[in-house]
Amino acid sequence: MTAQDDATTLFEQLTGQSPDGIWSAPGRVNLIGEHTDYNDGFVLPFAIPHRTYAAVGMRDDGRIRVASTFADDAPVEVALSELATLFPTPTGEAPAVAEWAAYPLGVAWALQLAGAAGQGVDIAIASDVPVGAGLSSSAAIEGATASALNDLWDAGLDRTALARIGRRAENEAVGAPTGIMDQMASMLGEPDAAIFLDCRTLDANLIPVGIAEAGLAILIMDTRVQHAHATGGYRERREACERGAAIMGVPSLRDVSVDDLARAEELMDDVTFRRVRHIVTENQRVLDTVTTLRESGASAIGDLLVASHASMRDDFEISVPELDTAVESALAAGAIGARMTGGGFGGAAIALVEQGAVHAVSDAVTAAFAASGFASPHLFTVTPAAGARRDA
Ligand code: ADP
Ligand code: MG
């Protein structure tokens, strides 16, 4: 059974009827550019083949009901007119509904705030995006829901507007202070392309990556260490970035260049400086990666990936031993480049590998995890895939 079938089956169990349509949105992996999004900087993600499906049908009583194969608890149902009493969730508090339900209900609420309105709906969700692995199952559920309601409510919002809706749901309904990258990648993805996104202007350019043409593959190494975005470390990093920008007298770290780092080091404490240095150098690495992809192709970006990982491990301090082991063992086994990807504190790393070496690298990573006493990682290759769409 595919995730699309699962969504349909769940919908039929819920309502006794067939859905009016099925929409889906993919997870994403970030090739490079980590924690730069909320600093108004640059990122280079691509959508992956794993998707979240929403089977949706209209109802005529003005209520919205959401169910998911991910959640054992009962479906959550409220009146559309009640959403404005449930959200926004006060900072630091848990949503007034089950957390998973705050994603789709938050999307409906954010659409209402954007002026959209329409009939009540039943939404049944199923996904093959690994949850909590840094592959943005959250943007996938937001993108699938937002695409469905945009069509069914005739809201006419474009993909960038729907990405903003998803982000608003995640920030204000769920209470996770994340940037816009995940939603943009999930909405705008195209086969064989990465999305070069300027997070200040939301200007997005598709960059052909040519990974397959170069005889390469992207290996995802999911450590299965769960990360928790909404808490602790992520918030602390954001605050350090805001502090660093304030000390430098700029609106965001996007406005600090590599040449400014010597001055930054004099002005701030060591921890804040290293957080700043990661963001500033990472922005430059994204620009360099885009140039390198254009001029020399995917096989030439390995060193940039490796430098990105070192910066996250040593300056931003968001890696964990499992991620370091994945990166180091993949490189030792011949990967061209490797880095942790996503918010950090767990989740997944990626390795750029020659297609003929995928098995050898995978075996080496699995062996290194076993030798360290870590749970066995999930390893699979991905190619850049299509963004949000209507499937049926
Ligand atoms: P990531 O986006 O890296 O997978 P997040 O913590 O940002 O991790 O988002 C994961 C959360 O999103 C889950 O804990 C759940 O609340 C929600 N979620 C993701 N996929 C689904 C799904 N298919 N059904 C219900 N909730 C989901
Ligand atoms: Mg997420």
Global ipTM: 0.99
**Sequence-ordered list of residues with C-beta below 8 angstroms from that of 5, at least 6 positions apart, any chain:** none
Model pLDDT, residue 88 = 98
Shared domain for 287 and 358, answered yes or no, is yes
135 is in an annotated binding site: yes
Shared domain for 343 and 231, answered yes or no, is yes
Has residue 238 been placed in a domain?
yes
Question: Which of the four pLDDT bands, split at 50, 70 and 90, describes residue 229?
Answer: low
Has residue 325 been placed in a domain?
yes
pTM, whole model, 2 decimals?
Answer: 0.92
User: What are the pLDDT digits (tens) for 295-326?
Assistant: 999 999 999 999 999 999 999 999 999 999 99
* Helices (H) then strands (E): counts for the chain: 12, 13
Shared domain for 143 and 14, answered yes or no, is yes
In one-letter notation, the amino acid at residue 282 is E
Give me the mean pLDDT over the 208-218 stretch: 94
Question: Which of the four pLDDT bands, split at 50, 70 and 90, describes residue 64?
Answer: very high
Shared domain for 99 and 151, answered yes or no, is yes
CA distances from 126 to 11, 197, 218 (A): 10, 28, 25
Shared domain for 305 and 235, answered yes or no, is yes
Closest residue CA from atom 3 of ligand 1: 134
Q: Are 162 and 186 in contact (CB under 8 A)?
A: no
Shared domain for 231 and 373, answered yes or no, is yes
Has residue 377 been placed in a domain?
yes
- The conformation of residue 38, written as its DSSP 8-state character, comes to G
Q: Bridge-partner residues for 352, per DSSP?
A: 218, 337
- Exactly one of 182, 222, 315, 324 is catalytic; name it: 182
134 is in an annotated binding site: yes
Question: Which of the four pLDDT bands, split at 50, 70 and 90, describes residue 230?
Answer: very low
* Residue 48 belongs to domain spanning: 3-206
Closest residue CA from atom 2 of ligand 1: 136
**Sequence-ordered list of residues with C-beta below 8 angstroms from that of 231, at least 6 positions apart, any chain:** none
Closest residue CA from atom 7 of ligand 1: 138
Residue 69 above 80 pLDDT?
yes
E strand or H helix that includes residue 65: strand 63-68
Q: Which of 191, 206, 221 is the last residue of a domain?
A: 206
Residue 72 above 90 pLDDT?
no
What is the pLDDT of the chain when averaged over all its residues? 96
Shared domain for 32 and 142, answered yes or no, is yes
For the ranges 40-54, 124-138, 227-241, 278-292, the lowest mean pLDDT is seen at: 227-241
Has residue 392 been placed in a domain?
no
Q: Which residues line ligand 1 (CB under 6 A)?
A: 52, 68, 70-71, 99-100, 103, 125, 127, 131-138, 141, 229, 342
Residue 1 alpha carbon to ligand 1 centre in Å: 21
For residue 182, indicate whether it is catalytic.
yes
Query: DSSP secondary structure string, 361-380?
Result: HHHHHHHHHHHHTPPPPEEE
Has residue 187 been placed in a domain?
yes
Q: Is the peptide bond before 251 cis (omega within 30 degrees of 0)?
A: no
Shared domain for 264 and 152, answered yes or no, is no
Model pLDDT, residue 303 = 98
Give me the mean pLDDT over the 225-245 stretch: 84
Model pLDDT, residue 6 = 97
Has residue 259 been placed in a domain?
yes
User: What are the pLDDT digits (tens) for 129-167?
Assistant: 998 788 999 999 999 999 999 999 999 999 999 999 999
User: What are the pLDDT digits (tens) for 95-131?
Assistant: 999 999 999 999 999 999 999 999 999 999 999 999 8
Shared domain for 227 and 202, answered yes or no, is no
Model pLDDT, residue 92 = 87
Separation CA 332–CA 304 (nearest Å): 17
Q: Which of 172, 206, 240 is the last residue of a domain?
A: 206
Residue 137 alpha carbon to ligand 1 centre in Å: 5
| 120-127 and 63-68 strand pairing | parallel
User: What are the pLDDT digits (tens) for 242-279?
Assistant: 999 999 999 999 999 999 999 999 999 999 999 999 99
Closest residue CA from atom 20 of ligand 1: 137
Has residue 124 been placed in a domain?
yes
Shared domain for 198 and 92, answered yes or no, is yes
Domain count of the fold of the chain: 2
| CATH number of the domain where residue 283 is located | 3.30.70.890
Residue 131 alpha carbon to ligand 1 centre in Å: 5
Model pLDDT, residue 234 = 85
Has residue 389 been placed in a domain?
no
| CATH number of the domain where residue 170 is located | 3.30.230.10
Residue 136 alpha carbon to ligand 2 centre in Å: 4
Residues counted in the chain:
392
SS3 387: coil
Q: Which of 188, 206, 224 is the last residue of a domain?
A: 206
Shared domain for 192 and 238, answered yes or no, is no
Shared domain for 201 and 279, answered yes or no, is no
